[in-house]
Amino acid sequence: MKSEKYVFSDAVSGATVTRLTTYRANSNHLYFTNNCFFDGGRRIVFASERGNAHNLFTMDLESGEIEQITDLPAPDNLARYELHMSYVDGVGANCVCFVGKELLKIDLRSGNISTIYRIPDGFLNHIVSVSADGKYAYTSIYENSPEKRRGNSLHDFYESHPLSKIERIALDGSGAETVFSEYNFIAHVNTSPTDPLKLTFCHEGIWSKVDHRLWTLDLSSGKASKLRECGSGECIGHEYWFADGKRVGYHGHKNGKAILGAIDFDGNNDRSVDFPFPTGHIFSFDENLIVGDGSRDSAYIRLWRMGEDGYEQPRVLCQHGSTFKNQDAHPHPRLTPDGKCVLYTSDISGNNQIYLVDIPDDIEKLPFLSK
């Protein structure tokens, strides 16, 4: 498919923004904790609803050329495929994605597609992730028991305490096994980008009401531990791995004040600071430069840096203008592997579309965010 790239300068910051997709259907880059880059960061995998069907595509970021890699039938409910929760492994060129009850492995070089796992009857699945060595996919599955719930919100699931399992699934198709289980709503299983024996997960629900949100699982011992203790009036979330695969970033609230922080996998070296600015979903490679998407009322892609006395006031990288009307319309910004650009999604044009904004060499020239 031809390139759909369109380049413009952001009206607020002057940064160079490339609109990567323009087709009049929803297109989304993969979830911010899920790698979408391959071929040395030159190409991405993305999801799009073109032709009234929800499929995965690849894009060459330089040429803009697009290639369709799945050919799925048009479902009654497009959301049930949740293809933007797919994951591209960081070793080879395989993409894993759930389609209905089946977990597919797509070889991005040959185009071959195989089924490597099927969700057991009576269970639902959450996000999928791939180990640092590219050998296993990990996901959580949880009981679907409507009779135990008051409704279908995430917190309704949490309060029903469903049987949840973390599954390890071999990418070579040789089978799957349960590596951890408990009667809590487990979600957001995220593997370390460098250590194949470490992952994080969460107890999903309203952050301030779950027993404890952030957890680690050491696969060598099978031991699950709280990532960080939270005191009264404190809650944290939106956890993600730093590039070293040893530290985990997060943000949250403590006694009514917003906080931003990071902590080692083993719970040591916790560093949290007050940060009185909307963050939204955040991402970074380390503690030095963080990107966030704010909120509907402060709809900017923003950057902030670590200074001598904590984090500086955020600067506007560009205006994304997204509505946040649902999860798909959240920008979910993510740095490119070389750290030079930010990839994000916005529905400012009416449909979800994918954008890439350059980070200027001189960040000091970007305007400060006033709110």
- Residue showing tokens 């949250």: 252
Burial (Cβ within 10 Å: 0-12, 13-18, ≥19) of residue 26? buried
CA–CA–CA angle 163, 165, 171 (5° rounding): 155
pTM passes above 0.75? yes
Q: Are 137 and 149 in contact (CB under 8 A)?
A: no
CA distance 291 to 333: 7
CA distance 107 to 93: 6
Quote the distance between the C-alpha of residue 122 and its chain's center.
26
Mean pLDDT of 102-125: 96
Q: Six-digit token pair at 38?
A: 């391959």
Contacts of 91 (CB under 8 A, 6+ apart): 132, 133, 134
Q: Are 320 and 346 in contact (CB under 8 A)?
A: yes
Predicted confidence at residue 150, as pLDDT, reads 86
- Say if residue 78's pLDDT is above 70: no
CA distance 212 to 103: 29
Residue 81's pLDDT band (cuts 50, 70, 90): low
CA distance 317 to 27: 22
CA distance 96 to 233: 38
- The neighbour count for residue 7, using CB atoms within 10 Å, is 10
Quote the distance between the C-alpha of residue 233 and its chain's center.
26
Predicted confidence at residue 342, as pLDDT, reads 98
Residue type, 126: H
Q: Are 344 and 352 in contact (CB under 8 A)?
A: no
pLDDT tens string 6-19? 999 999 999 999 99
Kindly state the helix (H) or strand (E) to which residue 315 belongs, with its residue range. strand 315-319
CA distance 75 to 51: 12
CA distance 298 to 294: 6
pLDDT tens string 124-157? 999 999 999 999 999 999 999 888 888 888 889 8
Q: Are 251 and 286 in contact (CB under 8 A)?
A: no
Residue 75's pLDDT band (cuts 50, 70, 90): low
CA distance 220 to 4: 46
The residues with which 262 forms a beta bridge, in sequence order, are: 249, 271
Kindly state the helix (H) or strand (E) to which residue 158 belongs, with its residue range. helix 154-160
Average pLDDT, the chain: 94
What single string gives the DSSP state of each residue in 112-139?
-EEEEEEPPTTEEEEEEEE-TTSSEEEE
pLDDT more than 90, % of the chain = 81
Predicted confidence at residue 256, as pLDDT, reads 86
165/276: higher pLDDT:
165
Kindly state the helix (H) or strand (E) to which residue 154 belongs, with its residue range. helix 154-160
Cα dihedral 190/192/198/202 (nearest 10):
-30
pLDDT tens string 237-287? 999 999 999 999 999 999 889 999 999 999 999 999 999 888 999 999 999
- Say if residue 109's pLDDT is above 90: yes
Mean pLDDT of 26-49: 96
